[in-house]
């Protein structure tokens, strides 16, 4: 079967070449160069946004920052066993604890200081598992320091924290 996309660029681009400032240039080549320029700008914008988020949350891991995100009320019975440092440096924007059950495995992307992970660890219980992933070393340090404390208070440790790859790193 023939590829339906074969020759599409040529069909859309019109004549194969044209004179531009005394140089032969193909329309598809110009279109690809232009598209590459747009994609490069978008890639740079995404990388700048990522760097900005990383800087902001890294700083917030060092010193509490009020109103970094929208505050959420949590069930006090889950909060009491979590170290104060985690609570002070939590910038979560939701409470998924109502949607998880004992024995489940939970993956928290953007886990930050780990508050949601520590809440989820209590909900899923000793037969469940919680994996927190964050891109900021500073937030991971807070979460990793706190995990054994929470584990000791619960009587089991079912939570771990991993570093997420930077999208631009190719990892």
CB atoms inside a 10 Å sphere around CB 6: 9
Model confidence at 164: pLDDT above 80: yes
Q: Which domains does the chain have, with CATH numbers?
A: 61-165 (3.40.50.150)
Euclidean distance between CA atoms 90 and 114, whole angstroms = 7
Euclidean distance between CA atoms 67 and 65, whole angstroms = 7
- Strand 129-134 relative to strand 23-26, pairing: unpaired
The pLDDT of residue 73 is 78
pTM: 0.61
Model confidence at 94: pLDDT above 50: yes
Query: Do 96 and 88 touch, CB atoms closer than 8 A?
Result: no
The pLDDT of residue 31 is 62
The separation between CA 62 and the C-alpha centre of its own chain, rounded to angstroms, equals 19
Query: Do 129 and 117 touch, CB atoms closer than 8 A?
Result: no
């Amino acid at each position: 079967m023939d590829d339906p996309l074969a020759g599409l660029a040529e069909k859309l681009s019109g004549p194969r070449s044209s004179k531009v400032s005394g140089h032969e240039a193909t329309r598809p080549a110009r279109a690809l160069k232009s598209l590459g320029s747009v994609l490069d700008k978008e890639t740079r914008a995404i990388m700048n946004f990522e760097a900005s988020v990383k800087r902001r949350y890294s700083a917030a891991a060092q010193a509490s920052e009020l109103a970094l995100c929208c505050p959420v009320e949590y069930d006090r019975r889950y909060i009491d066993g979590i170290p104060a440092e985690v609570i002070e440096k939590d910038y979560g924007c939701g409470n998924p604890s109502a949607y998880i059950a004992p024995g489940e495995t939970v993956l928290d992307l953007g886990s930050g200081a780990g508050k949601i992970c520590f809440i989820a660890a209590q909900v899923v219980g000793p037969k469940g598992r919680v994996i927190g992933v964050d891109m900021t070393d500073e937030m991971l340090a807070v979460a990793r320091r706190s995990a054994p404390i929470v584990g000791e208070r619960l009587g089991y440790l079912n939570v771990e924290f991993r570093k997420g790859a930077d999208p631009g790193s190719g990892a």
